[in-house]
Structure 1
Amino acid sequence: MSEVTEREGAAGTESEALATLHRVFGYDAFRGEQEAIIEHVVAGGDAVVLMPTGGGKSLCYQIPAMVRPGTGVVVSPLIALMQDQVDALRALGVRAGFMNSTQDFHERRTVEAEFLAGELDVIYLAPERLRLDSTLDLLSRGKISVFAIDEAHCVAQWGHDFRPEYRALSVLGERWPDVPRIALTATATHATHQEITQSLGMPRARHFVASFDRPNIQYRIVPKAEPKKQLLTFLKQEHEGDAGIVYCLSRKSVEATAEFLSRNGIEAVPYHAGLDAGTRAAHQSRFLREEGLVVCATIAFGMGIDKPDVRFVAHLDLPKSVEGYYQETGRAGRDGLASTAWMAYGLQDVVQQRKLINMGEGDEAFRRRASSHLDSMLALCETAQCRRAQLLTYFGQEASAACGNCDTCLTPPETWDGTVAAQKILSTVVRLDRERRQKFGAGQIIDILLGKRSAKVIQFDHDQLSVFGIGEELTENEWRGVVRQLLAQGLVAVEGEFGTLVLTEESGSVLGREREVRLRKEAPKPAASRSGSGSGSGSRERKAKTVAADLPAELLPVFEALRAWRGAQAKENGVPAYVIFHDATLREIALQRPTSLGQLGTLGGVGEKKLATWGPGVLEVLAGLDGGGSVERVPEFDPGPEPDFGPEPEPEDVDW
Structure 2
Amino acid sequence: MDLHSPLKKFFGFNKFKGLQEQVVNSIVNGNNTFVIMPTGGGKSLCYQLPALMQEGTAIVVSPLIALMKNQVDAIRGISENNGVAHVLNSSLNKTEIAKVKEDISNGVTKLLYVAPESLIKEEYVLFLRTQKISFVAIDEAHCISEWGHDFRPEYRNLKHIIKAIDNVPVICLTATATEKVQEDILKTLGITDANRFKASFNRPNLFYEVRPKTKEVEKDIIRFVKQRIGKSGIIYCLSRKKVEEVAQILQVNGLNAVPYHAGLDAKTRAKHQDMFLMEDCDIVVATIAFGMGIDKPDVRFVIHHDIPKSLESYYQETGRAGRDDGEGYCLAFYSYKDIEKLEKFMSSKPVAEQEIGHALLQEVVGYAETSMNRRKYLLHYFGEDFDEINGEGADMDDNSRNQKKKHEAKEDVIKLLSVVKNTMQKYKSKEVVNTLIGKENALLTSHKTHLQPFFGIGKEKKAAYWMALVRQVLVVNFIKKEIEQYGVVKLTKEGESFLEKPVSFMMTEDHSYSEENDNTIITNAKSAGAATDATLVKLLKDLRKKVANKQGVPPFAVFQDPSLDDMALKYPINLEELSTVHGVGEGKARKFGKDFVALISNYVTENEILRPDDLIVKSTGTNSGIKLYIIQNTDRKLPLEDISKSKGLEMTELIKEMEAIIFSGTKLDINYALDDVLDEDQQEEIYDYFMEAETDKIQEALDEFDGDYDEDELRLMRIKFINEVGN
1:305-454 pair list within 5 angstroms: 305-357=294-346, 359-363=347-351, 365-402=352-389, 403-419=394-410
Alignment of 1:420-569 (within 5 A): 481-482=468-469, 484-489=471-476, 504=491, 514=502, 516-522=504-510, 526-527=522-523
Which piece of structure 1 moves more, 91-100 or 36-45? Answer: 91-100
Within the candidate set 288, 307, 312, 1:299 is matched to 288
**Which secondary structure does the structure 1 equivalent of 2:52 belong to?**
helix
The residue type equivalent to 1:392 in the other structure is L
AA paired with 1:348? K
Q: Does 1:50 align with 2:46?
A: no
CA apart distance, 1:142: 3.7
Alpha-carbon distance between aligned partners in 2 of 1:275 and 1:401, rounded to the nearest angstrom = 43
Deviation digits for residues 476-522 of structure 1 (CA, Å, limit 9, x no counterpart): 97676445435545567778999988675688888999454422221
**Match in the other structure for 1:632:** none
RMSD between superposed Cα atoms in Å: 4.5
Distance 2:418 2:13 in 1: 64
Report the identity percentage.
39
Confirm or deny: 8 A CA contact 1:347 1:483 kept in the other structure: no
Q: Distance in 1 between matches of 2:435 and 2:253?
A: 35
SS of residue paired to 1:328: helix
> In the alignment, which of 230, 237, 241 is matched to residue 248 of structure 1?
237
Alignment correspondent of 1:156: 145
Q: How do residues 92-111 of structure 1 correspond to structure 2 at under 5 angstroms?
A: 92-93=78-79, 95-111=84-100
SS in 1 for 2:221: helix
Query: TM-score scaled by structure 2?
Result: 0.61
**Code of the aligned partner of 2:145:** A
Checking the alignment, whether the CA contact within 8 Å between 1:446 and 1:479 is kept in structure 2 is: no
Q: Does the 8 Å CA contact 2:233/2:282 hold for their aligned counterparts? A: yes
User: Which range moved further: 420-429 or 324-333?
Assistant: 420-429
Counterpart check, 1:204 vs 2:200: no
CA deviation map 1:441-488 (0-9, x unaligned): 859969996x99xxxxxxxxx9xx9999987877x9767644543554
- C-alpha deviations, 1:357-404, integer Å up to 9, x for none? 4x23222x4443333222322222232222212222222222234422
Give the SS at the match of 1:398: coil
Amino acid paired to 2:62: S
Give the residue type in structure 1 aligned to 2:43. K
Match of 2:17 in 1: 31
Letter of the 1:412 partner, please give it: Q
Cα deviation code 1:20-54 (max 9, x no counterpart): 22233232211221111101111222211111111
Distance in structure 1 (CA, Å) of the matches to 2:486 and 2:260: 29
2:45 maps to a residue whose letter is: L
Contact 1:233 1:531 in 2 (8 A): no
1:72 and 2:58 are equivalent in the alignment: yes
Counterpart-to-counterpart distance in 2, 1:348 and 1:498 = 20
Q: How many residues align?
A: 517
Change (3 A) 1:532 1:322: closer
Q: CA deviation at 1:151?
A: 0.9
SS in 2 for 1:58: helix
Deviation at 1:310, TM superposition (A): 2.5
- Within 5 Å, give how 1:148-227 maps onto structure 2: 148-171=137-160, 173-175=162-164, 177=166, 179-226=168-215
Question: Structure 2 CA distance, aligned partners of 1:30 and 1:294?
Answer: 32
Report the CA distance between 1:215 and its aligned residue. Answer: 1.7
Distance 1:121 1:511, change over 3 A: closer
Tell whether the 8 Å contact from 1:424 to 1:471 is kept in structure 2 after alignment.
no
Larger radius of gyration: 2
Gaps of at least 5 residues in structure 2 are 440-449, 514-521, 532-611, 615-727
Deviates more, 1:63-72 or 1:298-307: 298-307
Secondary structure of the residue aligned to 2:385 is coil
C-alpha distance in 1, partners of 2:356/2:268? 35
Partner SS, residue 145 of structure 1: strand
- Cα gap change, 1:296 to 1:106, in 2 (>3 Å): same
| Contact 1:48–1:184, Cα closer than 8 Å, also in 2 | yes
Partners of 1:442 and 1:500 within 8 A in 2: no
Q: Does 1:261 align with 2:242?
A: no
Judged with a 3 Å threshold, the aligned counterparts in structure 2 of structure 1 residues 315 and 477 are, in CA distance, closer, same or farther, namely farther
Q: For residues 336 and 96 of structure 1, do their structure 2 counterparts lie closer, same or farther at Cα, with a shift above 3 Å needed? A: farther
Moved more, 230-239 or 331-340: 230-239
Partners of 2:466 and 2:256 in 1: how far apart? 37
Q: Return the offset for 1:207.
A: 1.5
Alignment-derived partner of residue 600 in structure 1 = none
- Displacement after TM superposition at 1:82 (Å): 2.4
Cα deviation, residue 63, structure 1: 0.5
Shift of the 446–334 alpha-carbon distance from structure 1 to 2, 3 Å rule, reads farther
Do the aligned partners of 1:428 and 1:445 also contact (CA within 8 Å) in 2?
no
Q: Cα deviation per residue 1:398-436 (whole Å; 9 max; x = unaligned)?
A: 2234422222223232222245666787899999x89xx
Distance in 1 (alpha carbons) for counterparts of 2:157 and 2:457? 61
Q: Provide the rounded CA distance (Å) in 1 between the counterparts of 2:490 and 2:60.
A: 51
Partner secondary structure for residue 349 of structure 2: coil
Cα 1:242–1:520, aligned 2, differ >3 Å: closer, same or farther? Answer: same
1:427/1:331 Cα in 2 relative to 1: closer, same or farther (>3 Å)? Answer: same
The higher relative CO (CA closer than 8 Å, separation ≥ 6) is in 1
Q: Which residue of 2 aligns with 1:579?
A: none
2:27 — aligned with what?
Answer: 41
SS at match of 2:384: coil
Tell me the distance in 2 between the aligned counterparts of 1:204 and 1:513: 44
From 45, 61, 67, the equivalent of 1:81 is: 67
Q: Which amino acid aligns with 1:44?
A: G
Scaled by the length of structure 1, what TM-score is found? Answer: 0.66
Q: Contact 1:238–1:539 at 8 Å: present in 2 too?
A: no
Partner of 1:117 in structure 2?
A: 106
Q: In structure 1, what is the equivalent of residue 77 of structure 2?
A: 91
SS of the residue corresponding to residue 43 of structure 2 reads coil
Distance in 1 between the 2:242 and 2:485 partners?
A: 20
Look up the equivalent residue of 2:100 and give its one-letter code: V
Q: Alpha-carbon deviation of 1:159?
A: 0.9
Is the 1:351–1:499 Cα contact (8 Å) retained in structure 2? no
